[in-house]
């Protein structure tokens, strides 16, 4: 791995390259994605047919063939290994329990003058979940996206997932059955996002689209935002690790590779105060790489987008990591909780050597759909509130409008909005 020291003359330039990891080819693919979206808007299912034949390499005569039957989902659930089914249930229960704690409440407040103010929390009617396929299938992503929607009490959940050669991962179907999802369509990429955003004869229009995907999916989500809500514009996976001399090099190495094996664009960054640990970690990474099934992918990721940074002290290390704002942040120090107050920007924070990032991917409970590319500075993990909306509640009594009406009208006067002011004063005149 590339090892750089904050004392190096060219460190600033090297670090700027790390911060630029989020720069992708969205501009290059925007035209392609815009054309796909326009075709879906204009031709609906016919466009879906064309795109699926081109990208997923299978044909269908009737668009109803895109819908996976609930019988097939139930069959997949029953056919999986008993231990695997138990693991799926354990993950489901833990994710559900965590997200139930996130539920905001509606509230009403009564003031002495008769004013009633409040907030009404309501789920969206229909949520669209994009679950990646292709290079790998991610049943865990189905759980992480469907469960918060279920906790939010969304009436209808629509799932789109690519089916290369008309094949869908059995465990993904089992997860859909476990979550009670009945509408799962074999559609992927920008076509799926467009279909859910605008609706076709077969695929219903949704109110919010969540879920990770490749650059085409991310670009499509960006372009349809406003027609529907979205969770975030997520890019390639990434991990940052803060470590001191007490950390184990082999733990760090395999955790860095746990993200590198996702895809070639993933980034894995270690920042440590210990030069000896940096050197040992580099050696361990190479040792593990040759044993990985996805060695080619992981090696390219590590070579092109991985780095080990040696910092002067932990204060500098934390400052640099906050600048990076990683999707996943592991803290492997002697007292990791002591650093927690100083960590400002990270999608998910893993504290201690016994908390590797994959624990968060599958079984811990918090959501694994996280902000990437530095967007943890302003985005949050996917959560129940992504599937909810809030309405303000306002009710004034006669006493209340007599008390607050004239200040309101004066503010309207200053903005030159005569009807606004008169709307209030006509009530003051009649009271």
Which helix (H) or strand (E) element contains residue 76?
A: helix 70-79
Calpha distance 273→332 (Å, rounded): 11
Calpha distance 169→137 (Å, rounded): 6
Calpha distance 184→197 (Å, rounded): 15
Question: What are the beta bridge partners of residue 117?
Answer: 109, 394
**Cα Rg, the chain, nearest whole Å:** 25
Q: Which tokens go with 74?
A: 């139930």
Question: What are the beta bridge partners of residue 238?
Answer: 267
Of 253, 350, 233, the residue nearest 306 (C-alpha): 253
Give catalytic residues, as residue numbers: 327-328
Q: Which tokens go with 161?
A: 């997932």
Report yes or no: 144 and 173 within 8 Å, Cβ to Cβ: no
Q: Identify the three-state secondary structure at position 354.
A: coil
CA 388-392-393 angle, to 5 degrees, is 125
Calpha distance 174→340 (Å, rounded): 37
Calpha distance 140→132 (Å, rounded): 11
Calpha distance 305→33 (Å, rounded): 26
Annotated binding site for Zn(2+): 259, 262, 361, 420
Annotated binding site for substrate: 237, 259, 262, 328, 361, 415, 420
Of 158, 219, 193, 225, the residue nearest 47 (C-alpha): 193
Of 331, 329, 367, the residue nearest 346 (C-alpha): 329
């Amino acid at each position: 791995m590339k090892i750089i020291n904050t004392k190096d003359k060219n460190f600033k330039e090297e670090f700027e390259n790390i911060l630029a990891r989020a720069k992708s080819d969205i501009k290059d693919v925007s035209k392609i994605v815009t054309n796909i979206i326009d075709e879906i808007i204009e031709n609906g299912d016919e466009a879906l047919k064309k795109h699926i034949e081109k990208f997923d390499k299978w044909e269908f005569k009737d668009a109803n063939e895109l819908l996976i039957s609930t019988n097939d989902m139930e069959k997949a659930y029953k056919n999986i290994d008993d231990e695997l089914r138990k693991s799926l249930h354990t993950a489901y229960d833990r994710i559900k329990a965590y997200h139930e704690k996130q539920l905001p409440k509606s509230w009403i407040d009564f003031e002495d003058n008769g004013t009633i103010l409040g907030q009404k929390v309501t789920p969206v009617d229909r949520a669209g979940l994009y679950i990646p396929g292709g290079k790998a299938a991610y049943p865990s992503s189905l759980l992480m996206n469907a469960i918060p929607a279920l906790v939010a009490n969304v009436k209808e959940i629509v799932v789109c997932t690519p089916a290369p050669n008309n094949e869908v991962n059995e465990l993904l179907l089992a997860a859909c059955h476990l979550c009670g999802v009945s509408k799962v369509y074999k559609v992927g990429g920008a076509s799926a996002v467009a279909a859910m955003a605008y609706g076709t004869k077969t695929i219903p229009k949704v109110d919010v689209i969540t879920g990770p995907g490749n650059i085409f999916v991310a670009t499509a989500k960006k372009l349809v935002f406003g027609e529907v809500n979205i969770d975030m514009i997520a890019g390639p996976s990434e991990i940052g690790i803060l470590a001191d001399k007490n950390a184990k090099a082999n733990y760090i190495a395999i955790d860095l590779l746990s993200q590198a094996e996702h895809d070639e664009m993933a980034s894995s960054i270690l920042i440590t105060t210990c030069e000896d640990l940096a050197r040992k970690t580099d050696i361990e990474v190479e040792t593990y790489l040759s044993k990985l099934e996805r060695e080619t992918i992981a090696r390219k990721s590590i070579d092109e987008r991985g780095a080990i940074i040696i910092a002067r002290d932990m204060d500098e290390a934390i400052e640099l990591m906050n600048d990076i704002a990683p999707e996943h942040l592991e803290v492997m120090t002697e007292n990791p909780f002591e650093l927690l107050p100083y960590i400002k920007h990270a999608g998910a924070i893993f504290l201690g050597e016994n908390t590797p990032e994959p624990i968060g991917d599958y079984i811990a409970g918090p959501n694994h759909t996280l902000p990437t590319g530095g967007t943890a500075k302003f985005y949050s993990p996917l959560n129940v509130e992504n599937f909810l909306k809030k309405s303000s509640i306002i009710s004034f009594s006669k006493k209340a409008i007599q008390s607050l009406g004239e200040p309101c009208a004066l503010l309207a006067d200053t903005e030159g909005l005569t009807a606004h002011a008169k709307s209030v004063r006509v009530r003051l005149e009649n009271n």
